[in-house]
Amino acid sequence: MTSASDAIAAVTAALAQLPPAESIPEEERFKLLGAMDKVRVAMEPPVLTVRNFCFAHYGIVGIRVAISMGIFDALAAGGGSPQTLSQLSEKTKGDEKLLVRILRLLGANNLLTETADGAYQPMPLAMGFASGSPLPEAIKHFYANMKASVNLNEFFESTGYKNPDDAYNTAFQFAYKTKEHHFEWLKSHPEDLHAFNVVMGLNRQIEGAQWFDFYPVEEKLHVESNDRVRLIDVGGGLGHDIARLRERFPTLPGRLIVEDLPDVVKDIKTPLGENVEAIGYDMFTEQPVKGAKSYYLRTVLHDWPDKQALKVLERIREAMADDSILLINENTLPEKDAPEFSIALDILMMEMYGSLERTEKEWIDLLEQAKFKVVKVWRSESQGVGSNALYEAVPV
């Protein structure tokens, strides 16, 4: 048996030999982190575990406040060089005593360090929270969701701890004192809507293989004429998925369309590529584009409990031609040992939407209820942490 001090020496020596993190393949890095996490879980005294549970949220709280005070913009204005308290104070909102405490919190979360002469030196990640980057939008979005989380128990008390399945009676409506669905509420909260849309695009950066890397797009979604719609991305947000598809297949014949709520489509600022159109459309109403070769939905139905998900699928089925294909690109919970991130997403879906992350069986059941037959469930070999199965289905 190895003593603790031998283990410390061995781990320290091994870590010192590691190449720079960026040069290690992502899969290996996740494995290494997983191994280190196992050590942490095995070694952590319960009191520390409980303390970590209780204080875990202060990282996001500190960053959220710092964004609004303009701290990251002030750090970025200094070009990454150390700045004194008074230099930062001149460029930020609020009083200096508060600034010191928030800077300290950012330091405790590895976003900056204090130099020997008391100036504040931002770490590279801190620069990523300056305005214009997607990271502050992610913090704004998840901080806003936290209001539903902190009200979850009170919400359950009011419902007698019933598993939520009503999109219009969730911890979100309870916390925000609204009757509106989150997507309706976003229309009158443009800052939150923008943050939501940006976050949807951001997910792609940590997902590994994209669906078109393992699905034979050219063969399966073949169209004879350039006028036919090859694929409609229903609920496609700002069009990040469809733009990537076009980028990957620049000369693929056929039109590509992204559909989303009119306020979302209005927020599309970047060109989506050749022969790509954007249409403002409510997916609960009649599908305006009939007979497309494929109707594709990525992490759209997971926002909805079965009742509404079935309605969306019905609107698509009505518009399909004999050779149309339905593609559902969705998070799929494994029956057991689901990753922590997927489990957290399941709770997020529950508190915001009365919805859920579904298992493969639940997806297939849902599609069958909607009168579709699943032809094949496609998966990438390198499973990412997000969307991880593509359900190819046809109407029966």
Ligand X SMILES: C[S@@+](CC[C@H](N)C(=O)[O-])C[C@H]1O[C@@H](n2cnc3c(N)ncnc32)[C@H](O)[C@@H]1O
Give helix 306-319 / helix 360-369 axis angle, nearest 10°.
60
Among residues 181, 182, 240, 302, the one annotated as catalytic is 302
Q: Is residue 295 within the footprint of ligand X (CB under 6 A)? A: no
* Interface pick for ligand X out of 140, 230, 246, 298 (rule CB under 6 A): 298
Task: Point out which residues pair with 255 in neighbouring strands.
Answer: 229
> Which listed range, 52-60, 109-117, 129-137, 295-303, lies at the site for ligand X (CB under 6 A)?
295-303
Q: What is the distance between the alpha carbons of residues 57 and 66, in angstroms, rounded to a whole number?
A: 14
CB of 12 to ligand X, least distance (A): 41
CB of 328 to ligand X, least distance (A): 11
Q: Is residue 192 within the footprint of ligand X (CB under 6 A)? A: no
Q: Is residue 184 within the footprint of ligand X (CB under 6 A)? A: no
Q: Is residue 344 within the footprint of ligand X (CB under 6 A)? A: no
Q: Is residue 264 within the footprint of ligand X (CB under 6 A)? A: yes
3-state class (DSSP) for residue 346: helix
Q: What is the distance between the alpha carbons of residues 116 and 124, in angstroms, rounded to a whole number?
A: 19
Kindly compute the dihedral angle of the four CA atoms of residues 103, 193, 298, 293, in this order, to the nearest 10 degrees: -150
CB 313 within 8 A of CB 362: no
Task: Point out which residues pair with 231 in neighbouring strands.
Answer: 256
Q: Which of residues 34-63 bind ligand X (CB under 6 A)?
A: none
Q: With respect to ligand X, which residue has the nearer C-beta, 174 or 183?
A: 183
* Interface pick for ligand X out of 300, 352, 356, 367 (rule CB under 6 A): 300
CB 145 within 8 A of CB 344: no
Q: Is residue 200 within the footprint of ligand X (CB under 6 A)? A: yes
Whether 302 is catalytic is: yes
Tell me the CA end-to-end span of the chain in Å, nearest whole number. 62
Q: Is residue 236 within the footprint of ligand X (CB under 6 A)? A: yes
Q: What is the distance between the alpha carbons of residues 325 and 296, in angstroms, rounded to a whole number?
A: 8
CB of 247 to ligand X, least distance (A): 16
Q: Is residue 286 within the footprint of ligand X (CB under 6 A)? A: no
Q: What is the distance between the alpha carbons of residues 194 and 224, in angstroms, rounded to a whole number?
A: 38
Tokens of 112: 């900056």
> Which listed range, 25-33, 257-265, 330-338, 357-365, lies at the site for ligand X (CB under 6 A)?
257-265
Q: With respect to ligand X, which residue has the nearer C-beta, 99 or 300?
A: 300
The number of residues that bind ligand X (CB under 6 A) is: 17
Q: Is residue 346 within the footprint of ligand X (CB under 6 A)? A: no
Q: Work out the number of other CB atoms within 10 angstroms of the CB of residue 271.
A: 10
Q: Which residues are catalytic?
A: 302
Q: Which residues bind ligand X (CB under 6 A)?
A: 183, 200, 235-237, 241, 260-261, 264, 281-284, 298-300, 303
